[in-house]
Structure 1
């Protein structure tokens, strides 16, 4: 069998994975994708090939898959017969936070893991789970090349003005700054734009990554110049269960007047806010769109309102806007949300084609619209595989020279 690269995206109770074959000319071709979800509660592994044919659909009891390392073992058991018993040549991981030290993907070793562990307080919901399978592979297969690809790296091109908070210099020197996230998604969109819309690829583009986690990015000539997320993945837009932009005085009030602990506030901000908190119903946009409850409407209206506000801010950072791109789960699959957003930013020159939007076409703006409006599916896993292949080849070359 040809060489392959395994891509892992680990969450708190799930592991998403994809296997890419390395074809001639170092072309990457996805062989299958899947995920093991419900870790510790109702574990289930589901995987399909590129034709969406089911390769596996297995469930276990909670004690059989109690944590992420155990889930990784189940993924490996599934992989062995799929790849003829051969290990992949390398494993690429999504790591949410790279801090100020990592502006590019990096080959993983014990020193890198130790540095990434120090960033857990900046991404408590994501970083520990990203690192769990990395440690498991290091323990079981220490010689297998692993690569960390960071959600923050794409935004390291920001100016100091965009990176700063109005805080004392010492805090900035210690790493308290605006990082931005979803960088792998934005990097993929920047890579796709020259072929999808070459006339605006070098222009001023606002991209909205709208999923359970949501953020927006301002790009000029494919480079990030500003983002809605900051020091952590809590900032910016309201999300499925995360609050988004919040007056820090609210935190002080909850601690000093309500007597809430930092841990309790952290849990609320990450798990009980956003669309879930506003609606009191669900964090799932599909459920909210189908609901007749006025609280569901409030939550969705607020979501679209904040996206429109952020668009104006990002356009100001670029001195104008040439295109608006929707991506990720909501952005790619919710025409009603796209229409509501574009109607709110019509003053910027965005004119929606209602029919094209309902059909989920790539271009959903009317002919003559000053702002080109696009829907481009993201592919973070392909970006991770691409970076992993590049570092794998570079690593092999270094070993050969040594």
Structure 2
């Protein structure tokens, strides 16, 4: 019987899954099988898997999220049942959970008490936390014997010094748990592994990792540990993103509510869904779309300019916190694949000694800086699923390399 780990990454409109072979040691970084149900709350949900084009899937309109989870479970069972050459079983389920609060600084096996704690953190991540917990609760009810492990996006940043965690609010806010937590920690945890393997001492020095996707943040690392990051109390903070505003003068929020009379719900929608690249450009949250039209579209140019400026400015702040910079690494969808954005960011960081090799950058090479660059610039694909699977294997008592 071969043990498998099922990784679930539950978002508001999609559920990604991956199956890892826990019997292979060290744990392979490529899953045996992965895919996702997408568009769960929309009119045309789809199911897609590795190497196969997405196809329509029928979901119960009354409970589409439960239906999507049930569909994944059925497809996994069918997939395992079709393997006549050997027997497989799901030995553990691992979940990406965005918020672990101040209590959870490491992965944890989930029971009723842990689930209750995680539900208390829903107000800290209202657009992310509930969906993972819905999957966890459903599995606890149907398969209480099956080990479930929560892996937290906030956990990597527990090494932040208190001066980085504090918000300049009354001290009682700190005592109530209002602090900078940091996010994208599973991506940064993988980068701490992968960059050290590929770059050695350069990665162990003063490094900035740029996780640039639809959500985006930077992490300043020293000794492969987080010492500063751009996201704080919520996933709204820091960099300008696809549809999220990033760091914003709180007076602007007060103005929207007091003068323009937006409700709390309306303001939240603006900040999470109508800002960032989409808000400035008015057309798209994807830099590729904006780069294609910026020559004749003033708002697209403005959106891209502000997006890059915010990355450059925050890199400068992290370099100051680190006391210098030895490495800059790009990861996630935009960071890994968009050479134009990388080139513009690196041009803005020339004052730190960043020199870009244009040909290497265009080829998305692992190192895109020149040999003479004072800062090594890297491109490294992230692998949050593997980090989650590896953590779950350890917690569930399955050997992991």
CA distance in 1, matches of 2:107, 2:58: 36
Unaligned runs of 5+ in 2: 83-87
How far the C-alpha of 1:25 sits from its partner, in A, is 3.2
Equivalence for 1:279: 281
Q: In structure 2, how many angstroms separate the alpha carbons of the residues matched to 1:24 and 1:34?
A: 21
Residue in 1 aligned with 2:97? 95
Give how far 1:61 is off: 4.0
SS in structure 2 of the partner of residue 83 of structure 1: helix
User: Where in structure 1 do 4 or more consecutive aligned residues deviate above 6 Å?
Assistant: none
* Structure 2 counterpart of 1:266, from 242, 265, 268: 268
Greater relative CO, 1 or 2 (CA 8 Å, sep 6+): 2
Partner residue, 1:378: 382
The residue number in structure 2 matching 1:352 is 356
Listed as ranges, the gaps of 5+ residues in structure 1 are 396-402
What is the aligned partner in structure 1 of residue 85 from structure 2? none
Counterpart residue number, 1:313: 317
* Cα contact 2:60–2:67 (8 A) shared by 1: no
1:398 maps to none
Equivalence for 2:328: 324
Which of 384, 392, 396 matches 1:392?
A: 396
Aligned to 2:346: 342
Measure how far apart 1:233 and its partner are. 0.3
Deviations 1:218-242 (Å, cap 9, x if unpaired)?
A: 0001000000000000000011110
Query: C-alpha offsets along residues 235-258 of structure 1, whole Å, 9 cap, x if unaligned?
Result: 000111100000111111111112
**Deviation string for 1:362-400 (max 9, x for gaps)?**
1000111000000000000000001000101179xxxxx
TM-score (norm 1): 0.94
Give the structure 1 partner of residue 237 of structure 2: 235
1:206 to partner: Cα distance: 0.3
Instruction: Pick from 66, 69, 74 the counterpart of residue 72 of structure 1.
Output: 69
Deviations 1:267-306 (CA, angstroms, capped at 9, x unpaired): 1111110111010001112211112422111111111100
Counterparts in 2 of 1:62 and 1:293: CA distance versus 1, 3 Å: farther
Instruction: Name 1:18's counterpart in structure 2.
Output: 18
Match of 1:333 among 323, 327, 337: 337
Are the equivalent residues in 2 in contact too, given 1:40–1:65 (CA < 8 A)? no
What's the CA shift for 1:60? 2.5
Contact 1:39 1:65 in 2 (8 A): no
Number of residue pairs matched by the alignment? 390
1:154 has 2:151 as partner: no
Shift of 1:66: 4.3
- Correspondence list, 1:47-58, <5 A: 47-48=49-50, 53-54=51-52, 57-58=54-55
Matches within 5 A, 1:204-219: 204-219=206-221
| C-alpha displacement of 1:2 | 1.5
Q: What is the match of residue 37 of structure 2?
A: 36
Partners of 2:333 and 2:147 in 1: CA distance: 31
- Give yes or no for contact 1:13–1:67 (8 Å, CA) kept in 2: no
The two structures have a TM-score, normalised by structure 2, of: 0.94
Alignment partner, residue 259 of structure 2: 257
Q: Which residue of structure 1 lines up, in the alignment, with residue 225 of structure 2?
A: 223
Does the 8 Å contact 1:365/1:374 carry over to 2?
Answer: yes
2:6 corresponds to which residue?
6
Structure-1 residue corresponding to 2:121: 119
Distance in 1, matches of 2:196 and 2:161, equals: 24
Kindly indicate whether residue 299 of structure 2 is the aligned counterpart of residue 298 of structure 1. Answer: no
Contact 2:215 2:242 in 1 (8 A): yes
Instruction: Select which of 56, 60, 68 maps to 1:59.
Output: 56
